[in-house]
Structure formats: structure tokens, C-alpha cells
Amino acid sequence: MNVPVDKSSPSRPRRLADVGRWDMETDVAIIGFGGSGAAAAIEASDQGAAVTIFDLASASGGSTALSSAEIYMGGNGGTRVQRACGLEDSTEDMYQYLMAANGPLADPDKVRAYCEGSLDHFNWLVGLGVPYKDTLYNQRAIMALTDDCLLYTGSEKAWPYNRVAKPCPRGHNLQVEGDNGGPLFMKIMTENVEKRGVKVVFEARALTLIVDDERRVHGVVVRIDQQERCVRARRGVILCAGGFAMNQEMLRKYSPLLLAASEPIGNPGDTGSGIQMGMAVGAAAINMHEGFVSLPYYPPSSLTWGILVNAQGQRFVNEDCYHGRVGYYCLQQPDRRVYLIANVEDFGDYEKTSYLGAKFVATAEESVAELESELQLPEGTLQNTIEVFNRNAAEGVDPLFHKTAEWLKPLELPLAALDCTPGHGAFYPFFTLGGLDTLPSGEVLTAERTVIQGLYAAGRTACGVPRTASGYASGISVGDATFSGRMAGRAAAMAGAHD
Ligand SMILES: Cc1cc2nc3c(=O)[nH]c(=O)nc-3n(C[C@H](O)[C@H](O)[C@H](O)COP(=O)(O)OP(=O)(O)OC[C@H]3O[C@@H](n4cnc5c(N)ncnc54)[C@H](O)[C@@H]3O)c2cc1C
């Protein structure tokens, strides 16, 4: 069937009645061959369904292959790695932490399912051949650059979460040297997809869904070789097409705050087409204003001894929490001016090891007043902040923001300041955390929370477990993408075939 290319857009579904004939048929059609799509394909295939994956790229991977593929897992007494490192992790601690971290935005059913299924998910990944070494990387780091596995990747040890649940490291890093987790992870996932005989069509862009008058999804229109093909999905379509960090128009409309961050991270296909396709058939998109954003101010971890101040010369966060939480608060500051101030010696090998890219804008040899004036902060503000901070730090306390004693020591001359103001050169990566509303099974919901028959979503196309940068932990996105992909793959495979 040859329909001119401009007739189809994600926002304009194709009516079933207008489909002359099916060009391809499958049980489950999966849009996107990144982490969520691969997991969905493996699970659907293992449940006995005929599966076809379509990806607009010429190879598998998506943003998952670009990532470190740290995965947030634990609970249930602990994963093999946690236990080998002498750590016991309870499902309840993991649940309470993730609920607190996501605050009022959390979906308790999804968080519960994720925590209860986390050990099984670890074992499933290991069964596929994902290698994890039974070692702890006991440093404050964004990712392990060694082949060690387990590290703290969230704010578990920091206030306020250290009051809510017993901290435990849950970030699982693949057994590979350097930041190469993502490519290895997707290589293993791809081999598992291929092993199962799943049909994969690359350079195939899904354009829009095919629906009947009752809004039941029957298939998807895909552009292959410049031709629009109607693909029948007898049991369901699973949208695994990533988020919308690369779509300026959607960002302006739904999450304008993220535009203050410097760099959308992800693959070029993160244009929100999966979310748009779902919305066009009546799906609700939720949490669209939220994203992951980060100020990666460590390494070197010694900068955690420093303080972050705003245009009023005041602190606004405990600097020992996760870099995403810090990034979130930086974007909220008045005038968005942010400086990181630390003892000169604590900058250590900043120039060599940092991802931050922030420039030195002031130094002080003689007095804090000097620094205050160089940064053009109102007189007395920074002096007061540092005087209060130092007085308390000497006692090992931080009554204002509860930074833990481990990271408290007085700031002493000489001091230096980095300009972390968004737009002044500091690296603020971001991606989106809003998406289609789904049940934990991956079934897509309308605004009334009724299920749209035949439609599933997973990964960043859905709104999953991670909901906000302020409570983000590295590993929760690939964790959620692969976990939700599995749930959707299973549910779609087990659904009855359409007529
Ligand atoms: C540099 C970097 C580091 C990161 N590190 C981590 C980490 O360590 N841990 C963690 O949890 N998270 C991390 N993240 C985030 C995480 O990688 C992603 O959020 C997650 O992998 C998304 O998975 P996904 O399956 O939803 O999407 P993807 O893996 O991006 O897959 C989506 C696929 O859909 C395809 N597609 C899109 N639109 C269409 C269409 N219309 N038709 C056909 N195909 C389409 C794309 O080509 C792509 O292959 C990182 C991200 C980046 C960029």
C-alpha cells in the first residue's frame, strides 16, 4: 500500500477501515530496539509469541547503548553481588527509599513491583549473560571506571533519605573496564534477541498506530525503504521508542525548565514519537514536566567538601547528595546563579578528572570578603554563610541542610569558586522522565485510566519508576526500561490475539 509520506504523522492514527491490506503480520510489534525493546522482545518471545522489532536506526542500541548501563537493583535479602559484599538489603528499605525519592510523583504500584521483582530481574540479566563482578566500588563516584560492580548511585546515605531507610548500594555496574557498560549490555541483549529468532527490521520508522473505532490498537504504520507498510500486531504493539529530549518543540511545550540545562543526552531518535503515537489514540501522558538533570560536580569527590551557593550567597542543598538532586536544585535558584566554593586543595585533579566543565571565576587568598566581592554577591551574604557553615562543620553538624559528618569540614583560605550557573559553560546533561501512563504490566491507560486494548509502552516512552531528578539514582532508568520492557513483553504475549 503506497500512501504519500506526508499523510502519516504520530499524532494522526490510521483508521483500521482505511487499511487496504496488511503488508506484514506478527503477534507482537515492538517499536524501538534499545534496552526496553530488547527486554520486551526476549520476554514476549519466551512466552511463545512471534515478535517483530522495528527501529529507525541501522543497529540496535538506542540511548541504552550510549549509557553506562548501571542498573539499580536490590531488596529481597540482596542480589548475589550485594550478599558477596557482605550486604543485606531489604525490599522494604528499597521501596521506602524509592518512594521517598520520588515523593508525591511516585507510582506506588510500579515502585512495589520493581522492588519485589528486583532480585528476579538481576537473576534474569545474569541468565542472559550480563556479567557482574562480586565486588564493591566504595567511592563517591558517578560510575565505576574499574570493572567493579556495586556502588552507591543515589542519595541513600544523604539527608533526608538516610532517615527513611537503611542505606544500601544498589547500582550494579557491568564487569568491564571504563565507561563501557552500555555497549556491552546492548551487545548481550541483542545476541539474546537474535538467538530467539525475533524478526528485526532496521531503518524502519514507526509513523503511527492503526486503531479501530473502539480505539483498539491493531497494528502500526512503518516506513521502510520509503514505503509505508501496514503491520498487523495480533496481540499488541509495544512502544519502546525512548523519551523526547531531542524534541525542542515538545520540551518547550511540556518541560521548559529542562531547556535551562545545557545538553540533551540520548540518541537522535529521542523525539517523543512513541509518546505522540500513544497520545493520538487517547493515552494520557503524565509527569511531562519532569526530567533527569545533573550537575556532575564529582569526580573529584573531594569537591563534596565544598559548598554550593546562589545569587544571595546562600547554600540551598546538602552537597553530599546525588549529582542529579543537586542539578535539580541548581535550576530552581533565583537568577539561576550558582557557584561551587571549596578549599583550593580540594579541587585536586579537577582539570583532569571532572566532567563538569565549569570555569574558575574567583579565588581568595586573604579573606572571604574578597571572594564575595569578586562574585558580586551582596555584601555580607557569603561571609555569613561561610561563618555559619564553618562554625557548625567544626562540630561535625549542618543544621541547615544536614550534610553528613563524613563530608563536613570548615572552608579555609585559600578558596576558589567555579561558576556553575546554567548557561555559563558548566555541563548540565538532561533527559525526560514524562511519558505514557501505564499499569505495571505496561498496558497503556487513557486519562480515565482505562486500558487501551492492544497497546503497551515501556522505558522512557512510558512514565515509569523514575519521576524526578531530585530523587533520581543512576541505574534506575536502564533498570526501569528493562524491567518495564519485560512486563510489557509478557503481558502482550499473553494477551488474546485480535480478530
Ligand atoms: C550518556 C548516558 C548515560 C546514561 N547512563 C545511565 C546509566 O548508567 N544507568 C541508567 O539507568 N540510565 C542511564 N542513562 C539513561 C538511560 O540510558 C535511558 O534513559 C534508557 O536507556 C532508555 O531506554 P529506552 O529503552 O527507553 O530507550 P532507548 O534505549 O533509547 O531505545 C529507544 C529506541 O527507539 C528507537 N526509536 C525511536 N523512535 C522510533 C520510531 N518512531 N520508530 C522506530 N524506532 C524508533 C530509537 O532509535 C532507539 O533505538 C544514560 C543516558 C545517557 C545518554
**Residue 499 domain flag:** no
pLDDT of residue 490: 98
Q: How many domains does the chain have?
A: 3
pLDDT digits (tens, 9 = 90+) for 62-100: 999 999 999 999 999 999 999 999 999 999 999 999 999
pLDDT of residue 9: 86
pTM: 0.97
The verdict on 336 and 470 lying in the same domain is no
Domain C-terminal end among 375, 398, 419: 419
Name residues whose C-beta falls within 8 Å of residue 407's C-beta, 6 or more positions apart in sequence: 304, 305, 319, 320
The verdict on 196 and 211 lying in the same domain is yes
- The CATH number of the domain holding residue 228 is 3.50.50.60
pLDDT digits (tens, 9 = 90+) for 352-388: 888 999 999 999 999 999 999 999 999 999 999 999 9
DSSP character at residue 271 = S
Q: How far apart are CA 138 and CA 493, in angstroms?
A: 41
**Domain that residue 231 falls in:** 5-66+182-292+429-494
Q: Residue 123: CA atoms inside 13 Å, Cβ hemisphere, count?
A: 10
Domain C-terminal end among 386, 419, 452: 419
> Mean pLDDT throughout 47-67?
98
The verdict on 163 and 237 lying in the same domain is no
Average confidence score pLDDT of the chain = 96
The verdict on 191 and 250 lying in the same domain is yes
The verdict on 219 and 267 lying in the same domain is yes
Radius of gyration in angstroms for the set of CA atoms belonging to the chain, rounded to a whole number: 24
Residue 228 β-bridge partners: 223
Q: Are 242 and 213 in contact (CB under 8 A)?
A: no
Q: How many CB atoms lie within 10 A of CB 97?
A: 27
Nearest CA to ligand 1 atom 33: 32
Sort residue 402 into left (φ over 0), alpha (ψ -120 to 50) or beta: left
Nearest CA to ligand 1 atom 41: 206
The verdict on 108 and 224 lying in the same domain is no
How many residues are listed for the chain in this entry?
499
478 within ligand 1 shell (Cβ under 6 A): yes
pLDDT of residue 163: 95
pLDDT of residue 499: 58
The verdict on 189 and 259 lying in the same domain is yes
> What separation in angstroms does the CA of 232 have from each of 82, 262, 265, 321, 499?
44, 41, 33, 48, 11
Domain C-terminal end among 388, 419, 450: 419
Peptide bond preceding 300 in cis form (omega within 30 of 0): yes
**Which residue, among 42, 41, 40, 75, has the nearest Cα to 169 in the 3D structure?**
75
Tell which one of 184, 436, 477, 487 to mutate to probe ligand 1, the residue whose CB is within 8 A of the most ligand atoms. 477
Judged against a pLDDT cut of 80, whether residue 317 lies above it is answered with yes
Tell which one of 54, 64, 277 to mutate to probe ligand 1, the residue whose CB is within 8 A of the most ligand atoms. 64
pLDDT digits (tens, 9 = 90+) for 110-168: 999 999 999 999 999 999 999 999 999 999 998 898 999 999 999 999 999 999 999 99
The verdict on 320 and 392 lying in the same domain is yes
**Residue 86 domain flag:** yes
The verdict on 198 and 90 lying in the same domain is no
The verdict on 194 and 268 lying in the same domain is yes
Q: State the distance from the centre of ligand 1 to the C-alpha of 240, rounded, in angstroms.
A: 9
pLDDT of residue 124: 98
pLDDT digits (tens, 9 = 90+) for 428-461: 999 999 999 999 999 999 999 999 999 999 999 9
